[in-house]
Structure 1
Amino acid sequence: MRKALLLLILLSGIAECKSIDWIITDFPPYYMINDADEGTGRDELIIDLFHQYLPAYENNKVYFPASRAIRALSDKRNTFCMLSLYKTPQRQKFIRFSENYTTIGLSPTIATTTTTLQALGLKDTAKIQLKPFIEENKLVLGVVMQRSYGRVLDQAITSIPKSQVVIRPGQDALESLTYMLKKGRVDAVIGYPSEHFYLHKQTNTKEVVQLILEDVDPIVHGYVGCTDNDLGREIIKEIDSVASTVVNSQEFKTVMQKWLPSYLEIKLSRLMKHKEAG
């Protein structure tokens, strides 16, 4: 009788053990896969923070190449989740998104060289609109394959002549585009401020600056997206139940500013405080 009871308890424990399989990819500084800072990427730390409030779920991180991440989320035979995604109409067809945002950061910027700026007669404080900046100045824009920058910027990129856009696949796509920028093979690269800053710091790049895009709001929100099946929808409900607590914590604010240069860290901090006040 005791053995049967013990077996029943063990089986019950196994049945109640749930996990969230988070897709991680090689996108520093959001995910740190292969360097001294492994495990300290911004989004990895936010995933860990969410699990402090989701004790019933095991935190399981699964690596996918960036080019396969969205495809994996759409396959209903498995259930995966990913942090910090844009909600787009196309993605909402096969991904269930959280109602509440789960990351907040500065909107994409354009990295370009000081040489290009000088040739265009612009200062490094210039604010630009993406499409006219590229088209009218006859520049070539570098873009990471299968990456969304939000509806407005995605549409702008699509509308630029293909001859003026270089799309790079692979896990080191942004790093490759940054190298091409330094060599003059592209004139501008779109990315997020923390990504640009991390790569420029890693490669000791001093001749590249970031320009703010007027096309979009200064801050951007990311959402958790899970496979749109029964388990994925259940996980999203749990995420939404704790999201407000997580994003209002001091730990969250600290992580959001972790991989920004000091002047952008101050800017994001001000914008977050303004959002709270609003």
Structure 2
Amino acid sequence: MNIWRYAFVLVLILSSWSIQAKDTIYWRVIDWPPFYITHGQDQGQGIYDGLIDQMIAAMPEYHHKKVVMNTQRKLIELKKGSKVCTPSALANTPALLSTANSFLLPHRLIYHSYDYPSFKHLEKVSLNQLLSRADFKLGIASLRYPNAINAVLANHTENKNITVQNNYNSLIKMFFRKRFDGLIEYPPVINYSKKQLNLNIKTSSLQLQEISSQDYLTVHFACPNNEWGKTVIDKINQVLLEETFRANYLEQRLHWYDEQDQKILKYFYQRDYLKDKHRSTISQTASP
């Protein structure tokens, strides 16, 4: 009987050692709905929250911990080689990147649909020309946009039709109150804000000509550029590839987009999403 008792205790000890020996992936999150939703009734249902949860389920050999950190700290930790990964890295992030995990529509002009019916027939609009109109007021947050957009705005610093509001949430609320006619934002941010504020306001979006060279932004997982990061990224790539064989893999990625933008993104996913995954598979097959 004592032998079995000792054996049981030994199993418990070995199991404890095994658990303690697991590596931990620290997943960076940030309060940025609906990409990350860190509180409220939709907590954990952001686009990138879902991608993190997918990896947690697929990699039980690791401990997983979500850590709130701003962009600057994230970049510092990646550069240091810390065991930090993020699911929302753009292609210019200085880190080891996975294949594409999603597509993001670039910043667009969001406007009140019924106030500008002529916009409905346009595919894109020039921000520079728009700011030259006397009948259009724009709300902006300083230096929150791509360089090409910031450069245009810098040429209109004296424009009285521009409202600058650096409080992100206040800017959106001012737009809903029609303090100005449009703002530059990612479409899902506006859709989610309408839901949170329980507003039945019809808005639409237009591509900005100044950044129209990219139909979409490719989003990646990023981990530190070291052996640990390479191992994790290789596993992430495999999960992303296997996921594409499931018919519903786009649901999480498109959840917070409106019908118009979902249609646009579905086209790009069908056209391009598997390209880098096939290249990655071929590269792995060819490796010794």
TM over 0.5: yes
Question: How do residues 25-174 of structure 1 correspond to structure 2 at under 5 angstroms?
Answer: 25-64=30-69, 68-75=70-77, 76=80, 78-88=82-92, 91-92=93-94, 95-98=95-98, 100-114=99-113, 117=116, 122-137=118-133, 140-143=138-141, 154-162=146-154, 163=157, 166=164, 168=166, 173=168
Matching of residue 10 in structure 1 with residue 16 in structure 2: yes
Correspondence 1:209 to 2:204:
yes
Higher CA-based Rg: 2
Does the 8 Å contact 1:83/1:223 carry over to 2? yes
**Structure 1 residues 133 and 87: CA distance shift in structure 2, 3 A:** farther
Alignment of 1:219 onto 2:216: yes
Indicate the residue corresponding to 2:233 in structure 1.
Answer: 236
Which runs of 5 or more structure 2 residues have no equivalent in the other structure?
A: 1-5, 276-288
The TM-score, its normalising length taken from structure 1, stands at 0.75
Corresponding position of 2:253: 256
C-alpha distance in 2 between matches for 1:263 and 1:230: 42
Distance 2:273 2:138 in 1: 39
What is the CA–CA distance in structure 2 between the aligned matches of 1:277 and 1:22, rounded to whole Å? Answer: 25
Aligned AA (1:199): S
Structure 2 SS opposite 1:176: helix
Flag the 1:234–1:144 CA change in 2: closer, same or farther, 3 A.
farther
2:266 to 265, 269, 277: 269
The letter of the residue matching 2:256 is W
**Cα pair distance change 1:82/1:125, threshold 3 Å:** farther
Contact 2:127/2:208 (8 A) holds in 1: no
RMSD: 3.3
5+ residue gaps, structure 1, are 149-153
The code of the aligned residue for 1:168 comes to N
Equivalents in 1 of 2:49, 2:55: separation in Å? 10
- In structure 2, the partner of 1:177 is 171
Residues 73, 102 of structure 1: alpha-carbon distance in 2 compared, 3 angstrom cutoff: same
Mapped contact 2:109–2:183 kept (Cα < 8 A): yes
CA contact (8 A) 2:125 2:208 kept: yes
2:60 alignment partner, SS class: coil
The share of aligned pairs that are identical, in percent, is 20
Please, which of 176, 187, 206 is the counterpart of residue 193 of structure 1?
187
Note closer, same or farther for the CA distance 1:206–1:243 as it changes in structure 2 (3 Å cut). same
Question: Aligned residue for 1:151?
Answer: none
Judging changes above 3 Å, is the alpha-carbon distance between structure 1 residues 40 and 160 closer, same or farther for their aligned structure 2 residues?
same
Q: CA deviation at 1:25?
A: 1.3
- Alpha-carbon distance in 1 for matches of 2:183, 2:228: 38
- Distance between the aligned counterparts of 2:65 and 2:106, measured in 1? 29
State TM-score, norm by structure 2. 0.73
Letter in 2 for 1:83: P
Give the paired residue count: 256
Aligned to 2:281: none
Name the SS for the 1:10 alignment partner.
helix
1:212 offset after TM fit, Å?
2.7
